[in-house]
Amino acid sequence: EIVMTQSPGTLSLSPGERATLSCRASQSVRSNLAWYQQKPGQAPRLLIYGALIRATGIPARFSGSGSGTEFTLTINNLQSEDFAVYYCQQYNDWPPITFGQGTRLEIK
């Protein structure tokens, strides 16, 4: 089973700043990686798939990069609605598909 590890656990930033979230896979997942945003009481929302492809309707301030075992989600010019929990997910090797433990992005 591929283990996904995200860092940091919590990131405290102010609106307008840039957020950089990391995700590491225990073995290569090539570019088969997705990112999700989850707000309290809501289901996760797909942001990025294929490591760098934005999902439909996702603003351009969200970008993904990386391949193999190291991945990054960057959010430029943070907006108030961006403060949430973010999860990475690998779908290269299954079963099972696996998720990271999440990064909480909070307002500083």
Partner 1 sequence: QVQLVQSGAEVRKPGSSVNVSCKASGDNFNNYNVAWVRQAPGQRLEWMGRIIPFLGMANYAQRFQGRVTITADKSTSTVYMELRSLRSEDTAMYYCCQGGVRWFDSWGQGTLVTVSS
**Interface residue list for partner 1 (CB under 8 A):** 32, 34, 36, 43-46, 49-50, 55-56, 87, 89, 91, 94-102
Q: Between 34 and 78, whose beta carbon lies closer to partner 1?
A: 34
CB of 56 vs partner 1, minimal distance in Å: 7
> Coil, helix or strand for 6?
strand
Task: Answer whether 19's CB lies under 8 Å from 12's CB.
Answer: no
Q: Between 78 and 102, whose beta carbon lies closer to partner 1?
A: 102
Q: Between 16 and 41, whose beta carbon lies closer to partner 1?
A: 41
Q: Between 64 and 75, whose beta carbon lies closer to partner 1?
A: 64
CB of 11 vs partner 1, minimal distance in Å: 17
The one-letter amino acid code at 44 reads P
CB of 45 vs partner 1, minimal distance in Å: 8
**Rounded CA separation 51/14 (Å):** 26
Q: Give 72's Cβ-side CA count (13 Å radius).
A: 8
Nearest to 71, CA basis, from 10, 9, 7: 7
